[in-house]
Chain A
Amino acid sequence: MKTASGPDSLLILVPAFNEEGAVGHVVREIRQVLPGAPILVVDDCSLDSTLMVARQAGAEVLSLPHHLGLGGAVQAGYKLAYELGYQYVIRVDGDGQHDPAALPRILEALRTSGCEMVIGSRFLEGGTYPTGLVRSLGIRFFRLVLHPILGQPVRDPTSGFVGVNRQALEVFSRSFPLEYPEIETLVVLQRRAFRFLEVPCRMRPRLAGRSSITTLKSIYYILHVLLGVFVNVLKYERRRRKRP
């Protein structure tokens, strides 16, 4: 992967941890949809052969020396993309849940809408997605919490199928929530007067392996993210008051 060239340079970022069963398929699917786009798999120090499978599928691999978690892995990819000069980065999870067919739609929205972030939403245009009870309640809860903070509704606040432009990339390469980043990043962007847009996309069951999110973790997730949201809001309010 070379330094980005052109005003429309795009990088596909695939964070992966122990995804040897899915990551190769994900990379090949992305290639079919966007043949020219470079793909960077961030291997979060997997214990299986994720790294080798990703390389064999034709992706570039950024290999972390130890496990950082989703936020740390995504931020590492954002940092590299920013250094290499990319204008747009779209994150596609390495477990195969994000259907790459939506990539052109997300890219087009990034290019034409002027929004700094575009979210692939599974709940737009009547879309549904089977989730557990706690997770489903969590999504509804965060829709309610985020609406007044963001000043606009967000249908799928926990979606990781996200595209960002260079302005957002610059912010995220400096500061990015390390655990459960999806919701907090919305608040971080909104507090900087950046805009976001949702476009419909399809999500599928993961191709291989098991999700690490249990009911107990879902409850922890809700509390953790809620705290993160309010810390970000308070941080911004303090800065706003300090300004003359």
Chain B
Amino acid sequence: MNGLLNFMTGLGLALIILVLASVRRAHIRVEYSVSWLGAAFALLVLSRFRWLLEKVAAALGIGDPPVALLLLVGCVFLLVLYRVSLVVSELKDNNIALAQRLAILEYHFRARHEETQGSN
């Protein structure tokens, strides 16, 4: 199972590097990188400190610590994805409202422009 823990460490490190690089290039906003970095950091710590992972596994009532880690990782990523869905939904609502407002403003602008041209 050490192989699995090593893989989890690698995954955690890769995730941290990827997220930090994306933040640096402004591909992810800082506020949305926090949950990913938190998840990656937890993954890294739990996969490296076996005694801590065993404590967590015991608290969850799972005999095999790496399986507990997999379960935790799955849950954390599920929560992160859920948060992303919330953000995307809010953005979509805002985007629709903005598009409608823009169309209405353009409509008024066009009507005003035609009125002005008509009176000249």
Decide if A and B are genuine partners. Answer: yes
Residues of A within 8 A of B (CB): 1, 60, 62-66, 68, 72, 75-76, 79-80, 83, 178
Instruction: Kindly provide the distance from the CB of B51 to the nearest chain A CB, expressed in whole angstroms.
Output: 46
Residues of B within 8 A of A178 (CB): 96
Assess the A66–B99 pair: CB atoms within 8 A. Answer: yes
Q: Does B28 contact A (CB under 8 A)?
A: no
Assess the B104–A68 pair: CB atoms within 8 A. Answer: no
Contact for B104 among A66, A72, A76, CB less than 8 A:
A76
- Complexed CA–CA distance, A75 and B97 (Å): 10
Residues of A within 8 A of B102 (CB): 65
Q: In the complex, what residue of chain A is closest to B104 when comparing beta carbons?
A: A80
Q: Does B107 contact A (CB under 8 A)?
A: yes
Assess the A68–B99 pair: CB atoms within 8 A. Answer: yes
Interface of B is mostly: helix
Residues of A within 8 A of B90 (CB): none
Q: In the complex, what residue of chain B is closest to A61 when comparing beta carbons?
A: B107
- Complexed CA–CA distance, A64 and B100 (Å): 7
For this complex, 5 residue pairs linking A to B, each with C-beta atoms less than 8 Å apart, are: A1-B111, A65-B103, A72-B99, A80-B104, A83-B104
Residues of B within 8 A of A (CB): 96, 99-100, 102-104, 106-107, 111
Residues of A within 8 A of B103 (CB): 62-65, 76
Interface of A is mostly: mixed
Assess the A72–B100 pair: CB atoms within 8 A. Answer: yes
- Complexed CA–CA distance, A68 and B111 (Å): 23
Instruction: Kindly provide the distance from the CB of A114 to the nearest chain B CB, expressed in whole angstroms.
Output: 29
Q: In the complex, what residue of chain B is closest to A66 when comparing beta carbons?
A: B99
Assess the B104–A62 pair: CB atoms within 8 A. Answer: yes
- Complexed CA–CA distance, A80 and B99 (Å): 13
Most chain-B CB neighbours within 10 Å: which of A60, A65, A83, A178?
A: A65
Beyond the given A65-B99, A68-B99, please list 12 additional residue pairs across the A-B interface where CB-CB is below 8 A: A62-B104, A62-B107, A64-B103, A65-B103, A76-B99, A76-B100, A76-B103, A76-B104, A79-B104, A80-B104, A80-B107, A178-B96
- Complexed CA–CA distance, A62 and B107 (Å): 6
Instruction: Kindly provide the distance from the CB of B113 to the nearest chain A CB, expressed in whole angstroms.
Output: 14
Residues of A within 8 A of B104 (CB): 62, 76, 79-80, 83
- Complexed CA–CA distance, A71 and B106 (Å): 20
Instruction: Kindly provide the distance from the CB of A89 to the nearest chain B CB, expressed in whole angstroms.
Output: 15
- Complexed CA–CA distance, A134 and B5 (Å): 50
Instruction: Kindly provide the distance from the CB of B15 to the nearest chain A CB, expressed in whole angstroms.
Output: 33
Contact for B96 among A1, A63, A68, A83, CB less than 8 A:
A68
- Complexed CA–CA distance, A62 and B111 (Å): 11
- Complexed CA–CA distance, A228 and B100 (Å): 22
Residues of B within 8 A of A72 (CB): 96, 99-100
